[in-house]
Amino acid sequence: MSSEPTAVSAPGKVLLAGGYTVLDPSCRGLVFALSARIHCVATPSRDPSTPGKITVRSPQFQDAIWEYQVSASDSDGAGVSVVQTNDGDPNPFVLTTLKYTLSYLSLPAPPATTLTILADNPYYSQPPPPIPRFNSLPFPIKSAYKTGLGSSAALVTSLTSSILLHFLPNSSPKLSPHIFHNLAQASHCAAQGKVGSGFDVAAATYGSCVYRRFPPEILTSIPDPTDPTFTEILKETVNKKWTSMESTPMTLPPQIGLIMGDVQCGSSTPGMVKTVLSWRRSGGEDAEAIWKNLNSRNEDLISAIKDINTGGEHTTDTVKQRIAAIRRMVRELGTQATVEIEPESQTKLLDAAANEVEGVIGGVVPGAGGYDAVCFLYERKEGVEQNLREFLGNWKVENGVVKALELGQEGEGVRVEKVEGYQDVKSYFEGVAEL
């Protein structure tokens, strides 16, 4: 158990290829980790007299403080009890992560600790620059407009990892990466109330990768934390390697860059997914043919990028053609399922950028699609990135313009950070911790 602060960060994500099909264990998706990260700094409390008191803070937002009391459960084998003791809106992602991770560690009364969460600016719509790193926003976190980078998955992965590393006995052997991943997946799905595809937590843990989902039964077999078998089954599930899942590392070639654009409109992703899956179940052979065709085009893009990374014959022109082929099939899927996966306004934006800005390879509406965001690949040549950013900044949408986020693709997933790296935001820790 560390007597010093422990800092961990986990990246956001963009699912470039595999929207909807990634829910199918027979299909793969291409997910890139982003340089925008969510950080968690665990510090021993200045008042250690209250064992089991965990304070979680998100000081960039108003009233974002959650205080919890952790204690042993009334039932042997059940999860530890984690009760919020202060007023304010509950945060199911924080609460569930604490309950699952402390139960996994079998820590019914951990030392009094403060966990400080900091989000890089691209996770939320921001005022015009210049703004400081970890900009503070003048409203509660529930009022912040998210940009769709996977903040809940990055939060849960960062929080899970910081708790594991901070509370593990110093003599403990080094944990395998799959422990961090499996526990974060379990917590994230429990907090959501459903077992999703998991590509967002996989990217947060492992970094950019080709992803194939795990069988949902792995997590649905974990009982409720009040069940006397919860802790045992949770540990068994987290400790074993999920061999049917794939997370093969794959980054963009060095000559290709990535830009995300915040469109600031928003879509209801769960509703869209439900509609598409219902269409697939009832659509017969025609629906299955579209599904398989889309998956095949996703695989073609994956193979082209892999080929470029290994010095093969494919070029950025191949990537351009294969992105266009995926988009055609995504639009067909959307038409047949009556879901706006690539809405007409997004189609106009993607086509215009690819046609009017030299060096743009292509763009997609990532993940489940809709109006949330756009993602572009471009050639890393002089002036291309700046020209694309200027183009997006001048493109009019319903809520203003498209804002190019200050981020890029990176290969690394969850990582330990140096505590000294937060000295520039030391005011966030005043009265709470020594950095």
CATH number of the structural domain spanning residue 73: 3.30.230.10
Tens-digit pLDDT profile for residues 60-110: 999 999 999 999 988 889 999 999 999 989 999 999 999 999 999 998 889
* Lowest mean pLDDT across 185-189, 301-305, 372-376: 372-376
Same domain assignment for residues 326 and 376: yes
Tens-digit pLDDT profile for residues 153-165: 999 999 999 999 9
Same domain assignment for residues 284 and 406: yes
Same domain assignment for residues 178 and 34: yes
Average pLDDT for residues 188-192, to the nearest whole number? 98
Residue 320 has a pLDDT of: 98
- Please state, in angstroms and as integers, the Cα–Cα distance from residue 61 to each residue in 57, 65, 183, following that order: 9, 9, 27
* Lowest mean pLDDT across 243-257, 321-335, 393-407, 414-428: 393-407
3-state secondary structure the chain: CCCCCEEEEEEEEEEEECCCHHHCCCCCEEEEEEEEEEEEEEEECCCCCCCCEEEEECCCCECCEEEEEEECCCCCCCCCEEEECCCCCCCHHHHHHHHHHHHHCCCCCCCCEEEEEEECHHHECCCCCCCCCCCCCCCEHHHCCECCCCHHHHHHHHHHHHHHHHHCCCCCCCCCHHHHHHHHHHHHHHHHCCCCCCHHHHHHHHCCEEEECCCCHHHHCCCCCCCCCHHHHHHHHHHCCCCCCEEEECCCCCCEEEEEEECCCCCCHHHHHHHHHHHHHHCHHHHHHHHHHHHHHHHHHHHHHHHHHCCCCCCHHHHHHHHHHHHHHHHHHHHHHCCCCCCHHHHHHHHHHHHHCCCEEEEECCCCCCCCEEEEEEECCCCHHHHHHHHHHCCEECCEECEECCCCEECCCCEEECHHHHHHHHHHHCCCCCC
Average pLDDT for residues 398-424, to the nearest whole number? 92
Same domain assignment for residues 190 and 163: yes
Percent of the chain with pLDDT over 70: 98
- Count up the domains in the chain and report the number: 2
Residue 268 has a pLDDT of: 60
Q: pTM score, two decimals?
A: 0.97
Residue 434 lies in a domain: no
Residue 101 lies in a domain: yes
Examine the pLDDT at 119 and tell me if it is beyond 90.
yes
Dihedral angle sign, alpha carbons of residues 170, 176, 179, 180: positive
Examine the pLDDT at 12 and tell me if it is beyond 60.
yes
Residue 137 lies in a domain: yes
Tens-digit pLDDT profile for residues 255-287: 999 999 998 665 567 789 999 999 999 999 999
Same domain assignment for residues 243 and 265: no
Tens-digit pLDDT profile for residues 223-235: 999 999 999 999 9
Same domain assignment for residues 305 and 241: no
What average pLDDT is seen over the chain?
A: 95
Same domain assignment for residues 421 and 304: no
Same domain assignment for residues 84 and 50: yes
Residue 119 lies in a domain: yes
Examine the pLDDT at 222 and tell me if it is beyond 60.
yes
CATH number of the structural domain spanning residue 383: 3.30.70.890
Same domain assignment for residues 345 and 214: no
Domain residue limits at 173:
6-249+415-429
Tens-digit pLDDT profile for residues 377-405: 999 999 999 999 999 999 988 767 799 99
* Lowest mean pLDDT across 72-76, 181-185, 287-291, 321-325: 72-76
Same domain assignment for residues 216 and 294: no
Tens-digit pLDDT profile for residues 34-59: 999 999 999 998 777 789 999 999 99
Same domain assignment for residues 324 and 420: no
Residue 435 lies in a domain: no
Residue 1 lies in a domain: no
Same domain assignment for residues 235 and 264: no
Q: Quick one: residue 32, left, alpha or beta (phi over 0 = left, psi -120 to 50 = alpha)?
A: beta
Tens-digit pLDDT profile for residues 135-154: 999 999 999 988 899 999 99
